C-alpha cells in the first residue's frame, strides 16, 4: 500500500541547508498498524507531512496505492488528501457549537455527497469510532476530551480513506482517556482492517501499534514488530 524509497528532505540552501530526512526507505502493507516515533528533531514530523501528502520530498519517491505521490501537482495532492487520507491531530479541530453529526459530515459536504448519504455514512463512522447514537445531536463542546477525539476519528473515517494518519492524537488527553482513544485505533485496525500510521514521541503510545519504526537524526534506527497492548473498551471514557 505504501512504499517509501530513499526519501530525503532538505530545508533551505547553501550553508543554511538542513537535511531533515536522509534517505528513508520502508513499506507498509494494507491493514497494518504502524507507529513512527522519535524525539524532537528526529524527522518524524517531516515524514508525517510526506505520508499525508502535505509536502513532497527533495529526492526519492513515495507510492500510495500504486501512485507516485512525489510527482503530483499541488492540486493533485489536495485530491489525494481529500479522498485517500484521513487525518487525526493532537488539536481536535472540531467546530465547537456544531453537533457531533454535522462535524463528521463536513468532509462529505465538501465532496458534494447528498444529505441522506452524508447522514448514513457519518452515523456509521461514529459508531465505528465508538460513539453511540445518544451523542449524535450533542454539540462538540458538550463532550469529554476522549469523546471529542473519537468524533475526530469518525470524521477521518467518513470518506473511507486508504490511510488514517494520527499525529500525536493523545497529546491533549490524560493517560486513561488516551488509552481508550488508542484502543479505538486498535479496534479499527483489528476489527475493520484499517491501515493506521501513528506519529508519536512516547514509547507507551507507540506500544499500542503492531510495528514500530524509530527515527533519529533523519534516519531509521530500528523497524520492528511489537506486541501491542490490549485495547480498552469504548465506554470507559
- pLDDT for 169 equals 92
- pLDDT for 1 equals 86
In a domain, 90, yes or no: yes
Q: What is the mean pLDDT of residues 187-205?
A: 93
Total domains, the chain: 1
14 or 133: which leads in pLDDT: 133
In a domain, 97, yes or no: yes
Rounded to the nearest integer, the mean pLDDT of the chain is 91
Distance CA 132, CA 69 (A): 37
- In CATH, what number is assigned to the domain containing residue 177? 3.40.50.300
- pLDDT for 231 equals 56
In a domain, 66, yes or no: no
In a domain, 110, yes or no: yes
- pLDDT for 230 equals 62
Residue 106 has pLDDT above 70, yes or no: yes
Place of cell 485517500: 84
In a domain, 221, yes or no: yes
In a domain, 111, yes or no: yes
Burial class (CB in 10 A: 0-12, 13-18, 19+), 108: buried
- pLDDT for 227 equals 77
Q: What is the mean pLDDT of residues 24-45?
A: 95
231 or 168: which leads in pLDDT: 168
Which residues constitute the domain of residue 51?
Answer: 30-56+85-236
In a domain, 63, yes or no: no
- pLDDT for 236 equals 44
In a domain, 109, yes or no: yes
Q: What confidence tens digit (pLDDT) does each residue in 118-155 have?
A: 999 999 999 999 999 999 999 988 999 999 999 999 99
Amino acid at each position: 500500500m505504501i512504499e517509501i524509497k530513499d526519501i530525503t528532505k532538505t530545508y533551505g540552501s547553501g550553508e543554511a541547508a538542513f537535511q531533515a530526512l536522509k534517505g528513508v526507505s520502508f513499506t507498509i502493507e494494507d491493514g497494518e498498524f504502524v507507529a513512527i516515533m522519535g524525539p524532537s528533531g528526529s524527522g518524524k514530523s517531516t515524514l508525517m507531512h510526506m505520508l499525508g501528502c502535505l509536502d513532497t520530498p527533495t529526492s526519492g519517491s513515495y507510492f500510495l496505492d500504486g501512485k507516485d505521490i512525489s510527482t503530483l501537482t499541488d492540486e493533485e495532492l489536495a485530491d489525494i488528501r481529500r479522498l485517500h487520507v484521513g487525518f487525526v491531530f493532537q488539536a481536535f479541530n472540531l467546530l465547537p457549537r456544531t453537533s457531533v453529526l454535522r462535524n463528521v459530515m463536513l468532509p462529505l459536504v465538501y465532496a458534494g455527497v447528498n444529505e441522506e448519504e452524508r447522514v448514513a455514512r457519518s452515523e456509521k463512522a461514529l459508531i465505528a469510532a465508538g460513539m453511540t447514537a445518544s451523542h449524535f445531536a450533542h454539540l462538540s463542546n458538550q463532550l469529554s476530551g476522549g469523546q471529542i477525539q473519537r468524533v475526530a476519528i469518525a470524521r477521518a473515517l467518513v470518506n473511507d480513506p486508504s490511510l488514517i494518519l494520527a499525529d500525536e492524537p493523545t497529546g491533549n488527553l490524560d493517560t486513561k482517556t488516551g488509552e481508550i482513544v488508542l484502543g479505538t485505533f486498535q479496534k479499527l485496525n483489528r476489527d475493520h482492517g484499517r491501515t493506521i500510521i501513528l506519529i508519536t514521541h512516547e514509547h507507551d503510545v507507540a506500544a499500542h501499534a503492531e510495528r514500530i519504526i524509530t527515527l533519529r537524526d533523519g534516519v531509521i534506527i530500528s523497524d520492528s514488530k511489537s506486541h501491542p497492548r490490549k485495547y480498552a473498551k469504548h465506554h470507559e471514557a
